Structure 1
Amino acid sequence: MSVKCGGASEEKVATENEQNLCDKVKSDLESQTKKTFTTYTAISYRTQVVAGTNYFIKVDVGDEHYHLRIFVPLPYTQNPASLDAYEAGHTAESELSYFSN
């Protein structure tokens, strides 16, 4: 299956790769939400190819689910992945879709 530039992929089950991306931005999320997450598990994800890749990842934080938008720049930039936006208050059944800041 090919993904056109700018289009979001189908939702897929999160793998170790998506969990690692979430782990890289966990401290940023905790800082922005002023919360500490003891449960923090990537559940599913979608990707969007831009000048790099946006990952939309559903994360179980215990009493609710967060949707994270993590930007992974192109490798040649040598820049790290970053938390671009998040949405709180989701459930396991919430649809994971595109969102902006």
Structure 2
Amino acid sequence: MLCGGTHPAVPATDEIQKICDSVKSAAEQKAGKTYDVFTAKSYTSQVVAGTNYFIKVHVGGDDHVHLRVWKKLSHTGGELELSNMQHSKSHEDPVEYF
């Protein structure tokens, strides 16, 4: 991975699911709805003063959302922040920088 660039999307790991679980309520608030299903499917990341994660999340039926989650550097607390969210995505839509 290049510093500042993203790597090709790969299947989500347990760590990525934990990130999704921690920002689920923020995603629901941003979307204005609740999700019964919130399963990380794939992701890519970008290293920039922390790490941006771009995550494809299955939210039920054929629906997916894409999340951009920023993990701050550990010396600044390492907190997670939902930076942005894209709605109305499908399983086929590539997860990429946004």
Q: Could you give the per-residue CA deviations for residues 54-98 of structure 1, whole angstroms, max 9, x where no partner exists?
A: 000000000310000000011010141010000001100001111
1:57 pairs with 55, 58, 62, which one?
A: 55
Letter in 1 for 2:54: F
The match for 1:27 among 9, 25, 33 is: 25
Asked whether 1:96 is paired with 2:98, we answer no
Q: Which residue of 2 aligns with 1:68?
A: 67
Distance 1:98 1:32 in 2: 19
Aligned CA RMSD, in angstroms, stands at: 0.8
Return the TM-score normalized by structure 1: 0.93
Structure 1 residue runs of 4 or more that deviate by more than 3 Å after TM superposition: none
| TM alignment of 1:6-21, pairs within 5 A | 6-21=4-19
Aligned length: 97
Partner of 2:3: 5
- Give the unaligned 5+ runs of structure 2: none
CA distance in 2, matches of 1:72, 1:79: 6
Q: 1:36 aligns with which of 31, 34, 37?
A: 34
Q: Secondary structure at the match of 1:65?
A: strand
SS at 1:17's partner residue? Answer: helix
Structure 2: how far apart are the matches of 1:90 and 1:46?
A: 16
One-letter amino acid of the counterpart of residue 17, structure 1? E
Identity %: 43
Q: d(CA) in 1 for partners of 2:39 and 2:78?
A: 24
Where do 5+ consecutive residues of structure 1 fail to align? none
